[in-house]
Amino acid sequence: MKIDELKDVASQVRRDIIRMVHACQSGHPGGSLGAADIVTALFFDQMQINPEKFAMDGNGEDVFFLSNGHISPMLYSVLARRGYFPVSELATFRRLGTRLQGHPTTAEGLPGIRVASGSLGQGLSVALGMAQAKKLNDDNHLVFVLMGDGEQEEGQIWEAAMYASAKNVDNIIAIVDYNKKQIDGSTDDVLSLGDLKAKYESFGWMVWELNGNDMQEVVNTLALARNNAYNGKPQVLLAKTEMGMGVDFMMGTHKWHGTPPDDEQAAKALAQLKETLGDY
């Protein structure tokens, strides 16, 4: 897909995010907006997937896991826009009986979701298991997993990071949504991540750095990582993003991590985001 087209999709995803969290007056808009470009690029350009025929085992296709499940509105929008389920279903987000639970789950059978997530630190391990299954199946497709940067504070991440390089799991591409913010404030203030690049490198990973809100750079880096897969090392993309990206008053602060906009704020936000594919 052309870069401009991808940007158009991401703009619609951002509109969906604002409308979803506004409608139910709960959810996490900040991180969702920040990660919209990366996940749009994955599902609309970089991953080889079969949205029309969702299969839990993901055999013969690339597989994506969202480890930081709280940015579910972004994932739901991307999945719906990509054809996994009707976009009209986005209106049910966080409502009683919905398949679009606050955090993604498999219990309601939503196509595109393969495991429950949101209890942080677990997605990388699950993705590693999937990557091992792909190797057992002689399936050359890749496993992608998106994590938060605050999530890097979880110890299990580092169990998984150690495992991945020790066992040469080189069919996995991890992405850190590196917005340097978490719910209580900046990551520097809450618990400094230190030199995340050096940490991953010392754990035996190949590290890519990029601007995760520059669509061209996102696509280019994902393509480079794709081509570099099966070279003996796991890979991680440290994608510098801006929490709240696309809505001026939601950027530069952690305030919108888990707070929905009111009517006025939502209108103000939507005025800044082009409707490109039609609102749901």
Binding site for another protein (CB under 8 A): 56-59, 105-107, 114-119, 121-134, 136-137, 155-156, 159-160, 162-163, 166-167
Q: What is the nearest approach in angstroms of another protein to the Cβ of residue 274?
A: 36
Closest CA to 81 of 137, 34, 17, 131: 17
Q: What is the nearest approach in angstroms of another protein to the Cβ of residue 156?
A: 4
Which of 36-61 are b and which e, b meaning 16 or more Cβ less than 10 Å from the residue's Cβ?
Answer: bbbbbbbbbbbbebebeebeeebeeb
Tell me which H or E stretch contains 145. strand 143-148
Q: What is the nearest approach in angstroms of another protein to the Cβ of residue 174?
A: 13
Q: What is the nearest approach in angstroms of another protein to the Cβ of residue 131?
A: 7
Nearer to another protein among residue 11 and residue 117 (C-beta)? 117
Nearer to another protein among residue 96 and residue 107 (C-beta)? 107
Q: What is the nearest approach in angstroms of another protein to the Cβ of residue 180?
A: 25
Closest CA to 64 of 85, 44, 43: 43
How far the first Cα of the chain sits from its last, in Å, is: 22
**How far is 141 from 154, CA to CA, in rounded Å?**
28
Nearer to another protein among residue 109 and residue 194 (C-beta)? 109
CB 235 within 8 A of CB 227: no
Nearer to another protein among residue 155 and residue 278 (C-beta)? 155
Nearer to another protein among residue 173 and residue 243 (C-beta)? 173
